[in-house]
Amino acid sequence: MKASAIKVLLVDDHRIILDGLSALLRSEPDIEVVAEAEEGLAAVRLASELSPDVVVIDIAMPELDGIDATRQIKGRNPHAIVIALSARTDAQSALQILEAGATGYLSKNAAFSQLNHRPRS
């Protein structure tokens, strides 16, 4: 593990999204992708085992959707930052996941620069 790296868990039921996000985040020197999950139940289990700093999660997934998974993840690890990354653009979905404990909501139509908003030196 990188010294003081931000530990990230990626959760999406589309492999291409996981692969793309993982590749982008792994190129950042202070981020470590600690695990990936393709459904909500696995996300809850991995979040409990690995205590990630950040969870990037889709809303629509099999087994357990991102809203319920977020609720469980935040219940077990209230300090985790959960960011919803979803193709859903309706206000109802965004509101539901924010009420479940997500810190933020980002559309899959967003550019990577919107996710990576840290100032560069």
- CA of 97: how far to CAs of 74, 78, 93, 106, in Å? 11, 15, 6, 11
What six digits make up the tokens of 100?
Answer: 């479940």
pLDDT in tens, 11-67: 999 999 999 999 999 999 999 999 999 999 999 999 999 999 999 999 999 889 999
pLDDT at 106: 87
How high is the pLDDT of residue 62?
Answer: 85
Count Cβ atoms within 10 A of the Cβ of residue 63 and give its class: 0-12 exposed, 13-18 middle, 19 or more buried. Answer: middle
Distances (CA, A) of 28 to 83, 87, 100, 105, 109: 18, 24, 28, 21, 21
For the domain made up of 6-112, the CATH class stated in words is alpha beta
Residue 121 has pLDDT above 50, yes or no: no
Q: Which of the pair, 68 or 94, is modelled with greater confidence?
A: 68
Distances (CA, A) of 42 to 9, 28, 35, 72, 93: 11, 25, 10, 12, 21
Q: How far does Cα 53 stand from its chain's mean position?
A: 10
Cα dihedral 104, 47, 112, 15 sign: negative
- Residue 86: its pLDDT value, please? 85
Residue with tokens 């653009």: 89
